Amino acid sequence: ICSLEELDLSHNEIGDSGMEELANKLCYNVSIRKLNLSHNGLTQQSGMWLADTMDENLALQHLDLSWNRISEEPGLKMFLTSAADSNETILFLNLSWNSLGGDKIANIIKNFIGQQRSIQELDLSHNRLGSILENTRIAKGISTSETLKTLDLSYNGHNADSAFALLSNIQGSKLQTLLLSNVWVNAEFEKLQKSSRFRVVVEGVSGGSQIKGPDVKAMLLRRANFLGYKPKKNKKDFGWFLLRLKNADTLVPVKKAKFDLLIQEDKIKFDEGLIDELAKQFKNEEKKIDLNLMLEKYLEIFPDTALPAPKEKRKKIASKDERKTKEITTDINEKISKVKEVKERETLKTIPELTEKSQETQIDTKVRETLKTTPEPTEKRKETKIDTKVRETLTVKPSAQKFPVSILVNTTSKDDKKSHKEVTFMDENDKEENKINVEIESDQTQESLQPKELSGPEETISGISDTEQPAEEEISEEELAENIEDEAPRWKVKQKQPRIASLAL
């Protein structure tokens, strides 16, 4: 579009990425004379892209960059240096509302004004260029400029002294208009103003009394306090930051870089440029930030500021995976403990059981050994049992003299009558009869003694001696007839001390 001379792109949020594309196109444009890029969120990166435009463009005369954030090096320096060295067509430049401030920025502006060969009007209003040092530097550039006609430094925080320092250093310049709106001057400034060859616009002249302007330090500290309490969570009072430094004995003058690092470590989110302004307002003679003075001023504004009580550390809430792992571990430990308890119980149960079993085994072994030679009773005399101890007592030792022994057997019927029986035992060694008298008592039963139970010719009895063999039992027919009744008693051996009735040698 070769006929386009004026282009207004304000309030479009072009940003740095959009500015890169636009700057490349502007380098080869030869028609646009007036370009408005205000309110587009441009930063120092956009200043680098505009530096190329200033080197190549030969048509641009009016450039509005107000309400952006082109306030830091190296972007601002590259842009103004290229505009001063390479461009000879720019007539008007608007850099208002860009947070310009500080000695370095003032020095860059001084070089631009002094070296640029075509600039006629420069708008630097609504920035932070109001100190005596900053005004002195800018004044040197104005004094050497051959083309600058109008300079607007309104609303930069000037006071009567800084305004006088600026005016007194540009008396020999070719400047025609100096705008210092919102600045109250004193009588001394008014006198110098009348002698100047250019027009100076100020807010007014105080009538001999010193007018106290706004307390900039208090304004900055109130802003810092507001930003500390702005987040909904993790609110941080700027005064707490200063008090912690005091308690740690580190509240000493520091350089701006160190102060910026301390603010970042405390995670206080400040507006862009607020740290620079605090550093400028609380700078001491050594050009360091006086933190003691800053704390005193803060406590003057907020006297109730005090460090909060330390919070108790909350237990860390375990994540789902950690909770599951803990539950699994707990279940495993419980199962292990249960298994151990079961094993312990089984062990405790096993010990007495083994002891009882061993005791029973020992008893059974002794009984078996004792009764080893005792055969089970025959069918005829199953009910008759001779006590082991009786047999042991009646055992005939091998060394003893062999003699017949008679056994006395007492039987009791229903009428409590006792009968004597003689049982004869034969010794196989000498073929002699041994007779022993034994008393046997029968229990009262209802069973009948059948003749067939006593019809056996002989009964073998063992256990009398290890060397003796069982002898035959002789029962006469008369004795057998006496014991046969309708309800004969069942024979039962009653353990008694054996008595020897008679010995037949």
Amino acid, res. 191: K
- Per-residue confidence (pLDDT) for residue 114, from 0 to 100: 93
CA distances, 19 to each of 13, 25, 185 (Å): 10, 10, 41
Asked if residue 73 belongs to a domain, the reply is yes
Is there a contact between 14 and 41 (Cβ–Cβ < 8 Å)? yes
Highest mean pLDDT among 27-31, 267-271, 407-411: 27-31
Chain center to CA of 440 = 91
Q: Check whether residue 79 and residue 181 sit in a common domain.
A: yes
Residue 381 is given by DSSP the state T
Domain membership of residue 183 as a residue range: 6-206
- Nearest Cα to 168, choosing from 200, 129, 146, 121? 200
Asked if residue 254 belongs to a domain, the reply is yes
Q: Check whether residue 72 and residue 176 sit in a common domain.
A: yes
Is there a contact between 378 and 456 (Cβ–Cβ < 8 Å)? yes
- Higher model confidence: residue 122 or residue 402? 122
- Per-residue confidence (pLDDT) for residue 216, from 0 to 100: 86
Is there a contact between 124 and 96 (Cβ–Cβ < 8 Å)? yes
Q: Check whether residue 202 and residue 220 sit in a common domain.
A: no
Asked if residue 98 belongs to a domain, the reply is yes
| Per-residue pLDDT at 7 exceeds 90 | yes
- Exposed/middle/buried for 136, CB within 10 Å: 0-12, 13-18, 19+? middle
Strands (E), 382-504: 407-412, 418-427, 432-435
Query: What is the C-alpha separation between 141 and 148, in angstroms, rounded?
Result: 10
Mean pLDDT, rounded, for 14-31: 91
Q: Give 126-178 pLDDT, tens digit per residue.
A: 999 999 999 999 999 999 999 999 999 999 989 999 999 999 999 989 999 99
Strands in 92-94's sheet, in edge-to-edge order, are 6-8, 34-36, 62-64, 92-94, 121-123, 150-152, 177-185, 199-205
- Exposed/middle/buried for 207, CB within 10 Å: 0-12, 13-18, 19+? exposed
| Per-residue pLDDT at 390 exceeds 60 | no
Backbone angles phi, psi at 503, to 5 degrees: -120, 125
Strands in 432-435's sheet, in edge-to-edge order, are 407-412, 418-427, 432-435
Asked if residue 492 belongs to a domain, the reply is no
- Per-residue confidence (pLDDT) for residue 397, from 0 to 100: 45
DSSP 145-171: -SS--EEE--SS---HHHHHHHHHT-T
Asked if residue 385 belongs to a domain, the reply is no
- Per-residue confidence (pLDDT) for residue 473, from 0 to 100: 46
Query: What is the C-alpha separation between 164 and 136, in angstroms, rounded?
Result: 10
Task: Give 487's pLDDT tier (boundaries 50, 70, 90).
Answer: very low
Q: Check whether residue 12 and residue 33 sit in a common domain.
A: yes
Strand partners for 377:
none
| Per-residue pLDDT at 28 exceeds 60 | yes
Task: Give 187's pLDDT tier (boundaries 50, 70, 90).
Answer: confident
CA distances, 241 to each of 247, 248, 308, 499 (Å): 10, 11, 11, 118
- Per-residue confidence (pLDDT) for residue 83, from 0 to 100: 92
Which among 206, 238, 262 is the end of a domain? 206
Q: Give 348-381 pLDDT, tens digit per residue.
A: 776 555 455 555 666 666 666 665 555 555 444 4
What CATH number has the domain bearing residue 75? Answer: 3.80.10.10
Q: Give 406-456 pLDDT, tens digit per residue.
A: 444 444 444 444 444 444 444 444 444 444 444 444 444 334 334 444 444
- Per-residue confidence (pLDDT) for residue 494, from 0 to 100: 44
Which among 301, 331, 348 is the end of a domain? 301
Q: Give 223-253 pLDDT, tens digit per residue.
A: 888 888 877 777 888 888 899 888 888 888 9
- Per-residue confidence (pLDDT) for residue 359, from 0 to 100: 59
Q: Check whether residue 201 and residue 222 sit in a common domain.
A: no
Query: What is the C-alpha separation between 95 and 1, in angstroms, rounded?
Result: 28
Q: Check whether residue 14 and residue 162 sit in a common domain.
A: yes
Q: Check whether residue 169 and residue 142 sit in a common domain.
A: yes
Q: Give 442-486 pLDDT, tens digit per residue.
A: 444 334 334 444 444 444 333 433 444 444 444 455 554 455 444
| Per-residue pLDDT at 39 exceeds 90 | yes
Alpha-helical runs (H) found in 152-237 = 160-168, 187-195, 216-229
Asked if residue 55 belongs to a domain, the reply is yes
Is there a contact between 502 and 406 (Cβ–Cβ < 8 Å)? yes
Is there a contact between 40 and 14 (Cβ–Cβ < 8 Å)? yes
Asked if residue 308 belongs to a domain, the reply is no
Q: Check whether residue 251 and residue 190 sit in a common domain.
A: no
Q: Check whether residue 108 and residue 44 sit in a common domain.
A: yes
Backbone angles phi, psi at 426, to 5 degrees: -100, 140
Q: Which residues have CB under 8 Å from 465's CB, separation 6+?
A: 395, 396, 397, 398
- Per-residue confidence (pLDDT) for residue 73, from 0 to 100: 84
Following CA atoms 171, 123, 218, 296 in sequence, which dihedral angle do they give, to the nearest 10 degrees?
Answer: -60
Mean pLDDT, rounded, for 32-60: 93
Paired tokens of 186: 């004193």
Paired tokens of 336: 């292990």
Task: Write down the number of H helices and E strands in the chain.
Answer: 15, 11
CA distances, 403 to each of 66, 408, 413, 421, 435 (Å): 151, 16, 32, 19, 8
Q: Check whether residue 156 and residue 291 sit in a common domain.
A: no
Tokens 């027009």 label which residue?
199
| Per-residue pLDDT at 308 exceeds 60 | yes
| Number of Cβ within a 10 Å radius of residue 168 | 15
β-strands 92-94, 199-205 pairing: unpaired
What's the domain count of the chain? 2
Q: Check whether residue 188 and residue 240 sit in a common domain.
A: no
Rg (CA), the chain: 65
Which among 301, 318, 342 is the end of a domain? 301
Asked if residue 286 belongs to a domain, the reply is yes
Q: Give 63-118 pLDDT, tens digit per residue.
A: 999 999 998 888 999 999 999 998 999 999 999 999 999 999 999 999 999 999 99
Task: Give 285's pLDDT tier (boundaries 50, 70, 90).
Answer: confident
Q: Check whether residue 280 and residue 161 sit in a common domain.
A: no
